[in-house]
Structure 1
């Protein structure tokens, strides 16, 4: 099964980022293809490479970058939501990309499922 993910929450103020990442890992482990993760609203802050959590905490931006590098998952941030939150190409994680909202429609069309995390 081909899966797209929509993530609408920031990395440390809501469980959605952790849950979406764990879902992606589990889906890949079961042989499914996670095609893309589209970040919308506060979700775009997940790709900020400037986040610097304490050593004993998880590094959510690094997780998304690793998922992209290891499994070819596109990690895409909505341009409008990114601009509102000061996210630009200079602070994107490796493997992250800023794109238009129309890409979300493409993800929904080309995949068997679009799974949404966050409010």
Structure 2
């Protein structure tokens, strides 16, 4: 079975992101596939390279990046929601004439069309947070 996950929750203000991460791990361990993880609304904060959780808290960014590397996951951040929240890739920072980028390695910016496409090709679309 192929899944697409939509994460609406910011990494440390709701359980949505952590629950999505646990679900993704369990899904992959069970032999299913994940077509795309789409971060939307406050969920885009999961893709911030500037996240620095205290040592006694989960490093969700690092865990998403590790899962992405291990399974070649498509971690997609909604470009409109990201820009509203100050999350920019290098190319968007240049285009908008901003001083720096902060989109973490392993994450890409894309529009809602990528979410619609993922929903069309996946067996299940599951949302977390929100």
TM over 0.5: yes
Equivalent residue, structure 1, for 2:28: 28
Hey, which bits of structure 1, 4+ residues long, moved more than 6 A? none
Match of 1:106 in 2: 117
User: What is the root-mean-square deviation of aligned Cα atoms in Å?
Assistant: 0.8
Q: CA deviation at 1:64?
A: 1.1
Where does residue 78 of structure 1 map in the other structure? 78
Task: Choose 1 or 2 for highest CA Rg.
Answer: 2
Contact 1:62/1:93 (8 A) holds in 2: no
* Aligned equivalent of 1:9: 9
Task: Kindly report which structure 2 residues correspond to 1:32-111, keeping only aligned pairs within 5 A, or say none.
Answer: 32-89=32-89, 90-111=101-122
After the TM superposition, which of the residue ranges 24-33 and 51-60 deviates more from structure 2? Answer: 51-60
Which residues of structure 2 form unaligned runs of 5+? Answer: 90-100
SS in 1 for 2:105: coil
TM-score, length-normalised on structure 2?
0.89
